[in-house]
Chain A
C-alpha cells in the first residue's frame, strides 16, 4: 500500500497568513493526488484534484502543486472559514490512501 504522510499534523495561523501543507507519498504517484477539507461533523469536500486543478466553486486562494512523491497545498491568504482538517489522498492505486490529516486552527 502507498503511505501518505502529511506535515504538519496541526498548525495555527492568523487571518491573512500564507499557509502551506505538504504531503509525501511513499512511492511515485505521478499527479494522482487530491486534497480535501473537512469541518467537524461534516463530510469532506474536494478542493484540488490531479495535484493542481481547482474544484469548481473553491476559492482561488487555494492552490496545489507537485508531482511524483512531493505535493503541496497552499492557502495564499487565510480566511476565518478555512479552519478544519485537510487531507491529501492518492488515487494512483487501490487501496487509495489518505494522509493522516492536518488540523488548521485560526488564531
Chain B
C-alpha cells in the first residue's frame, strides 16, 4: 500500500524557516516525480513545487521561488521542502503527492495527510 506521511509543520514567526518531510513507502520512490501542494485554511488547492525522480530538476510556483527549496533523498525514501523567509500568506496545510503517468499525462495518484504550517507573530 502506498503511504506518504508528512511531518515538520508547526507555528513559525514571519521571516522564519521550517523544513517539511514526506516519508514514502509502498512504491519505488526513486522512480517517481514528487510534488508539494498547499491549501490555505478554507481555500483551494495550490501547487507549490515539483522534483524529478533523481532530484536533478525542480520547479516552483512564482510565489515561493527563491524562498523554498525542494529536495529528496532516495536512499531514505523521503521528500523535503525547505521553507525560508516565511510569510503570513504561506500559512496552509502542505501535502506531498506522488505522480503517475498515463498517455503522457501525469496526475497525483497518492497524497499524504498533510502537515499544517502556521506563520504568525
Contact = CB atoms under 8 A, between A and B. Distances in A.
Interface of A: 31-32, 34, 36, 38, 42-46, 49-50, 53, 55, 87, 89, 91, 94-101
B111 A97 contact: no
Contacts of B106: 91
A87 B45 contact: yes
The 3 A-B pairs of least Cβ separation, nearest first, read: A43-B111, A49-B107, A34-B107
Interface residues of B, number: 22
26 contacts: A31-B105, A34-B107, A36-B45, A36-B108, A43-B111, A43-B114, A44-B45, A46-B107, A46-B108, A49-B102, A49-B107, A50-B102, A50-B105, A50-B107, A55-B109, A89-B45, A89-B107, A94-B50, A95-B59, A95-B61, A95-B62, A96-B35, A96-B47, A98-B47, A99-B44, A100-B44
A91 B109 contact: no
A44 B105 contact: no
A62 B35 CA distance: 26
A91 B45 contact: no
Contacts of A43: 95, 111-114
Contacts of B59: 94-95
Nearest to A1: B62
Interface string B25-61: 0000000000100000000111100100000000101
Interface string B71-88: 000000000000000000
Nearest to A38: B45
A98 B45 contact: yes
A91 B105 contact: yes
Contacts of A87: 44-45
B109 A46 contact: yes
